[in-house]
Amino acid sequence: MQEISSLSAMRAWTRAEKARGRRIGFVPTMGFLHEGHLRLVDRARELADRVVLSVFVNPLQFGPQEDFSRYPRDLDRDRRLAHARSVDCLFAPERSAMYPADPIARVAAGPMADVLEGKIRPGHFSGVLTVVAKLFHVVEPDVALFGRKDFQQAMLVQRLVRDLDFPLEIEVAPTVRELDGLALSSRNTYLSPDERRSALALSRALRAVEQAWRGGQAEAAALQKKGMETLAAPGVQPEYVALVDEAMQPVERVTAKTIVAVAARVGATRLIDNVVLGEGIAADPAVRA
Ligand code: PAF
């Protein structure tokens, strides 16, 4: 596995591979890899000849009161996991390489970024789209992969690519869950055993909404109430249960394409999860709780 930290070396690596006719798949991450990231690597391998994985904790997407400084980091561990999953190139730039000066030019994310996560984390998606645009310029992939767990991010990246004509495809891969339903996230590492148990309220809330919908309830308000009641479990501070379409617009009556998104604080940790109603939640037997 090649390891690169300079932007010019990264671009040169991709261009050399492309000159040999190879297609580049790209998995951008903030590190502290888990099986969800590694499934994206597997999928990238199916879609491309070479796989680049980036590890960069992007300061631009964290608010002043958020967990940038304590976000989990372990590059040795990431290196081992990426190597074991046959990543071809690990791109781990320093902050000084990505942002030699505070950027004055940023991607404005628009109204789709002002709801749900964007409402609670102002500026977050502008920070995400700015770093994603920079990474796309540097890595020059043919296809980039994002996890469905961060569905608002994935939808906004799709719009970024379409609106600014980046010459690449975006693939959104399913959320990977532990056997008991907890969606994998690097932030799960913050949870104590008790908090981890409490955190199951998020997937339980999604299931409760799904079951009520399958039972014939199609009114978004009633489903939202059901979701909030389930989310409000001991140790959990619910933030939202939202029923929206792909453009993040709230719906009144739901369909098989409606997305149910939930967010809550468990102790000091903010967690999010979502499901497309028609698809449901499946625990992944390959991942142990
Ligand atoms: O999803 C993440 O890990 C980050 O938001 C991303 C896409 C790597 C940008 O920093």
Q: Which CATH number is 242's domain given? A: 3.30.1300.10
Residue of 37, 150, 156 to mutate, ligand 1, most atoms within 8 A of C-beta: 150
- 21 and 163 co-located in one domain: yes
CATH number at residue 159: 3.40.50.620
- 82 and 112 co-located in one domain: yes
pLDDT grade for 47, boundaries at 50, 70 and 90 = very high
Beta bridge mates, 243: 260
pLDDT grade for 289, boundaries at 50, 70 and 90 = very low
* Per-position b or e across 44-82, b if 16+ CB within 10 A of its CB: bbebbebbbbbbbbbebbbeeeeeeeebeeeeeebbebb
pLDDT grade for 283, boundaries at 50, 70 and 90 = low
Residue 273 pLDDT exceeds 70: yes
> What's CA 253's distance to the chain center, in Å?
27
- Domain residue limits at 136: 2-173
Q: What's the gap in Å between 72 CA and the centre of ligand 1?
A: 14
Which of 145, 173, 201 delimits the end of a domain?
173
- 124 and 230 co-located in one domain: no
Q: What pTM was computed for the model?
A: 0.96
Q: Is residue 68 part of a domain?
A: yes
Mean pLDDT (whole number) for 83-102: 97
Q: Is residue 181 part of a domain?
A: no
- 149 and 14 co-located in one domain: yes
Q: Is residue 199 part of a domain?
A: yes
Verify whether ligand 1 is closer than 6 Å to residue 132 (CB atom).
yes
For the beta sheet containing 236-244, the strands, ordered from the edge strand earlier in sequence to the opposite edge, are: 236-244, 259-266, 269-276
Mean pLDDT (whole number) for 213-232: 98
Q: Is residue 287 part of a domain?
A: no
Mean pLDDT (whole number) for 53-58: 98
Residue with tokens 């628009």: 110
| Amino acid 277: pLDDT | 94
Cα distance between residue 274 and residue 236, in whole Å: 17
Q: Is residue 192 part of a domain?
A: yes
pLDDT grade for 39, boundaries at 50, 70 and 90 = very high
- 98 and 150 co-located in one domain: yes
Q: Is residue 190 part of a domain?
A: yes
- 48 and 104 co-located in one domain: yes
Atom of ligand 1 nearest to the CA of 147: 1
- 115 and 168 co-located in one domain: yes
The tally of domains found in the chain comes to: 2
Which residue among the candidates 34, 37, 83, 124 is catalytic per the annotation? Answer: 37
- 81 and 158 co-located in one domain: yes
- 26 and 126 co-located in one domain: yes
- 66 and 128 co-located in one domain: yes
Residue with tokens 């297609």: 23
- 160 and 207 co-located in one domain: no
**Protein residue with least CA distance to atom 9, ligand 1:** 128
36: left (phi over 0), alpha (psi -120 to 50) or beta: alpha
Q: Is residue 178 part of a domain?
A: no
Residue 147 pLDDT exceeds 70: yes
Would you call 172 exposed, middle or buried from its count of C-beta atoms within 10 A (0-12, 13-18, 19+)?
middle
Query: Among 31, 26, 36, 34, which Cα is nearest to 56's?
Result: 31
Q: Is residue 194 part of a domain?
A: yes
Which of 144, 173, 202 delimits the end of a domain?
173
Mean pLDDT (whole number) for 164-184: 96
Mean pLDDT (whole number) for 7-20: 98
Which of 173, 194, 209 delimits the end of a domain?
173
Query: Among 143, 183, 147, which Cα is nearest to 37's?
Result: 147
Verify whether ligand 1 is closer than 6 Å to residue 150 (CB atom).
yes
Residue 211 pLDDT exceeds 50: yes
Is 124 labeled as catalytic in the residue annotation?
Answer: no
- 120 and 194 co-located in one domain: no
Would you call 18 exposed, middle or buried from its count of C-beta atoms within 10 A (0-12, 13-18, 19+)?
middle
Tens digits of residue pLDDT in 226-252: 999 999 999 999 999 999 998 999 999
Say if residues 25 and 66 touch (Cβ distance below 8 Å).
no
